[in-house]
Amino acid sequence: MAASSRAQVLDLYRAMLRESKYFSAYNYRTYAVRRIRDAFRENKNVKDPVEIQALVNKARRDLGIIRRQVHIGQMYSTDKLIIENQEKPRT
């Protein structure tokens, strides 16, 4: 993978993770983060430039979907789950 392609993929990966952390619902947020990490790990050994470009294009579309879903989720937010309200223990 060329250096510019690698940088492009890493930027896309970070953008997807960053954007998915804005989901207001805990379950959507954790699922999105887990799914993004799994998808990028699954495809980390792809060497074909055409396939890499196809995967990058799909990830860009998915990033757009994540952004739209975050906005929709913020319009119809719900109460936090009990697991989200727990304070971290003091050490």
Q: DSSP letter string over 15-83? A: HHHHHHTT-SSHHHHHHHHHHHHHHHHHTTT---HHHHHHHHHHHHHHHHHHHHHHHHHHHT--PPPHH
pLDDT above 60 for 77: yes
d(CA 64, CA 70): 10
Whole-structure pTM value? 0.78
pLDDT in tens, 14-67: 999 999 999 988 888 999 999 999 999 999 999 999 999 999 999 999 999 999
Residue 36's CB: how many other CB atoms inside 10 A?
A: 20
d(CA 30, CA 43): 20
Q: Answer whether residue 90 is part of any domain.
A: no
User: Per this entry, what is the length of the chain?
Assistant: 91
Domain that holds residue 48: 19-79
Q: Answer whether residue 89 is part of any domain.
A: no
Q: Provide the domain count of the chain.
A: 1
Q: Answer whether residue 69 is part of any domain.
A: yes
pLDDT above 90 for 78: no
Q: Answer whether residue 63 is part of any domain.
A: yes
